[in-house]
Structure 1
Amino acid sequence: MTINIVHLIGRVGGDPDMKYFDSGKVKCRLTLAVNRRTRNSDEPDWFNLELWGKTAEIAGTYVRKGKQIAVKGSLKFDTWNDRQTGASRSTPVILVEQLDLLGSKQDSDGAMNDMSPENF
C-alpha cells in the first residue's frame, strides 16, 4: 500500500498564474506560505501549487495574494534539464485536488467556502 496525500493551510504568496490551453484545459499555479513553528519564531515554508480544471478556474476567480486557503492534494516532482549546464533538475509541487477558501465572509466576498469541483 502507498499513500501520497498532502494537507496544507497557509497564505497565498501571489495572485494566481493562469494558463489556458487550446485543448480547453486550464492550469493555475500558486505559491503558499505555511508557518513552521520553531523555538525562536515562526518561519514560513513555501510550497508550489498546481491546480487544473474547475479547481483552477475557482482559484483564478476567488484567490488573491494574502488569502488564507486550505488545500488537499498529492506531492509530485517537476523535472527538467538545465539549459546552460544540461544537469537534471527537479522541484516539488503539490497537485491540488481540493481547495477551501478560509477567512471571514469579507475576505471571501461572499464566496462559498468549499470550492471542490464536485460541489459544482
Structure 2
Amino acid sequence: MLRNGAAQVFRQLVRHQSTDTSLILERSINRVQLLGRVGQDPVMRQVEGRNPVTIFSMATNEMWRSGDVETSPAGDVSQKTTWHRVSIFKPGLRDVAYQYVKKGSRVLVEGKLDYGEYVDKNNVRRQATTIIADNIVFLSDNIRGKDQ
C-alpha cells in the first residue's frame, strides 16, 4: 500500500513540476489474448543482422445464432473465423514454440498488437497486423516435439 501511495505522489510531482508536456508520464495498455487453433506449423526466420523470429498463424472463431430464438430455439448457427499472425521474438519462448507448437494445436497466446507495412514480391506495399507474443499456454493433450 505504501508503494502505491509513493507512486501516486511521484506521478503528481512529475506532472506538476514539469513544464515540458512531453515529460508527463501516462499509462497505456496494448494487450491481446487469443484462444484458438494453430493454422500452420511454425517457421523460424532470420533477417541478416537481426534476431530470429518464430511465426505461425492462428484461427479464432466467433459463433452466433441468427433468426428468432423464441420461435425457433435451435436457430441457425453462424460462424466467422478470423486468422491472426503470431510472431515470437523472446529467445526462450521462440525456441519452445518452434519445437512444440504444431498445426491444429489449441493454444492461448498473450501479447501485444503491432501494425506495420511490408513490400510483397510484386513490389506492392501491404499493411500487416501481428500479435507479438510474450506468453503461450499449450492446451492440447498431444504435445510432441518436431523430432518425435
TM-score grouping bracket, smaller chain normalisation = 0.7 to 0.9
Match runs of 1:1-120 below 5 Å = 1-20=27-46, 25-39=51-65, 40-52=77-89, 53-81=91-119, 88-104=125-141, 107-109=142-144
Q: Give per-residue Cα distances to partners, 1:65-118, cap 9 Å, x unaligned.
A: 0001101000001213567576x43111000000111122xx1249xxxxxxxx
CA spacing shift, 1:82–1:103, aligned 2, 3 Å: closer
Question: 8 Å contact 1:30–1:50 — kept in the other structure?
Answer: yes
Under a length normalisation based on structure 1, what TM-score does the superposition of the two structures give? 0.76
Identity of paired residues, percent? Answer: 27
Question: 8 Å contact 2:113–2:131 — kept in the other structure?
Answer: yes
Question: 8 Å contact 1:9–1:34 — kept in the other structure?
Answer: yes
**Which SS does the other structure have where 1:2 is aligned?**
coil
Higher relative contact order (CA 8 A, sep 6+): 1
Question: 8 Å contact 1:26–1:57 — kept in the other structure?
Answer: no
Cα distance in structure 1, aligned partners of 2:112 and 2:30: 5
Unaligned runs of 5+ in 1: 111-120
Unaligned runs of 5+ in 2: 1-26, 66-76
More strand by share: 1
More helix by share: 2
Aligned residues: CA RMSD: 2.4
Cα distance in structure 2, aligned partners of 1:73 and 1:48: 12
Larger Rg: 2
